[in-house]
């Protein structure tokens, strides 16, 4: 099929996902994946995630470049500054801005390390730390078990001063185990834990956030732990687990849809 002697590597898999392989190389990689079902599943999940992220970021990519950043508007400013440092500085700022955005998007599509991203998001950092602490517990993974769900939700809502939901994730293959109250600086946070009965657990961490706006999902990874975080209606949410990005994204979307079904005024008396 092909005389290319090179073994299939990570660059080939990324190239296949991005549609950048030559036809002969693509055929060789696809044939190799047929004999490696585990890697084939990873590629399939990465492709699905890539398409979801492309769809979410498409509106941003189509936005026009701000007038203040166009070269034609930057050049005339040279007469207000000494020497020729301004274009270089402007180019450096643009490269840093584009590099940061490109790195975030590239990570989201390819699943590379993102420890720094976790450090930049306190809620995500706390959620990952809580997940690592309690996911390994056999006897006491939660404070209040799922069979007391009404009590659990009422208690957490009262302590956070904000309506807390316990989403039903049966369609995504997870059942509620229960939850617990956690400290979050001067405030409190809620953590719900779910299990798929096959050894995979994930947590939904929530706490009162800043403002009443809404953000897009943000992906982060710290070692073997992945997380999707977002803010909506005055609350910060983080879904965390040791699973692939595509599966975790479907869970985050399900949680978001059910949380947004709460009454507009979620503040508790």
- Residue boundaries of the structural domains of the chain: 1-63, 66-111, 115-259
The CATH T-level fold of domain 115-259 is: Phosphorylase Kinase; domain 1 (3.30.200)
Phi, psi of 180 (to 5 degrees): -155, 165
Residue 74 has what pLDDT? 56
Distance CA(192)–CA(143), nearest Å, equals 10
Tokens 């692939």 belong to 244
Distance CA(100)–CA(82), nearest Å, equals 29
pLDDT tens digits in sequence order for the chain, 269 residues long: 456 667 888 778 888 888 888 888 888 989 888 888 878 887 877 777 777 766 666 666 666 666 655 555 555 554 544 445 455 555 554 444 444 444 444 444 444 433 334 444 789 999 999 999 998 888 888 999 999 999 999 999 999 999 999 999 999 999 999 999 999 888 899 999 999 989 899 999 999 986 667 888 999 998 899 999 999 888 999 999 999 999 999 999 999 999 987 644 555 54
Distance CA(110)–CA(16), nearest Å, equals 12
Residue 106 has what pLDDT? 43
Sheet holding 187-195, edge to edge: 144-145, 175-184, 187-195, 201-208, 235-241, 225-232, 218-222
Cβ contacts of 16-19, under 8 Å, gap ≥ 24:
16/43, 17/43, 17/46, 17/47, 17/50, 17/109, 17/110, 18/50
């Amino acid at each position: 099929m092909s005389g290319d002697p090179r073994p299939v590597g990570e660059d080939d898999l990324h190239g296949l996902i991005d549609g950048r392989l030559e036809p002969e190389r693509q055929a060789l990689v696809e044939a190799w994946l047929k004999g490696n079902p585990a890697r084939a599943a990873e590629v399939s999940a990465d492709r699905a995630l890539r398409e979801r992220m492309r769809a979410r970021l498409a509106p941003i990519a189509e936005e026009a470049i701000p007038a203040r950043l166009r070269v034609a508007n930057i050049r005339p400013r040279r007469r207000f500054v000494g020497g020729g440092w301004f274009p270089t500085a402007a180019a450096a700022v643009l490269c840093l801005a584009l590099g940061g955005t490109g790195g975030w998007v590239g990570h989201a599509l390819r699943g590379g390390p993102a420890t720094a991203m976790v450090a930049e998001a306190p809620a995500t950092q706390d959620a990952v730390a809580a997940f690592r602490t309690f996911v390994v517990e056999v006897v006491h993974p939660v404070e209040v078990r799922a069979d007391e769900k009404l009590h659990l939700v009422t208690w957490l809502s009262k302590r956070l001063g904000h309506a807390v939901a316990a989403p039903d994730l049966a369609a995504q293959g997870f059942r509620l185990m229960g939850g617990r109250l956690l400290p979050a600086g001067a405030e409190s946070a809620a953590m719900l834990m779910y299990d798929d009965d096959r050894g995979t657990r994930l947590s939904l961490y929530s706490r009162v956030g800043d403002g009443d706006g809404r953000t897009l999902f943000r992906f982060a990874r710290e070692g073997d732990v992945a997380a999707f975080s977002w803010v909506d209606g005055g609350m910060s949410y983080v879904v965390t687990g040791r699973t692939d990005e595509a599966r975790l994204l479907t869970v985050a979307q399900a949680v978001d849809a059910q949380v947004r079904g709460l009454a507009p005024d979620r503040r508790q008396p």
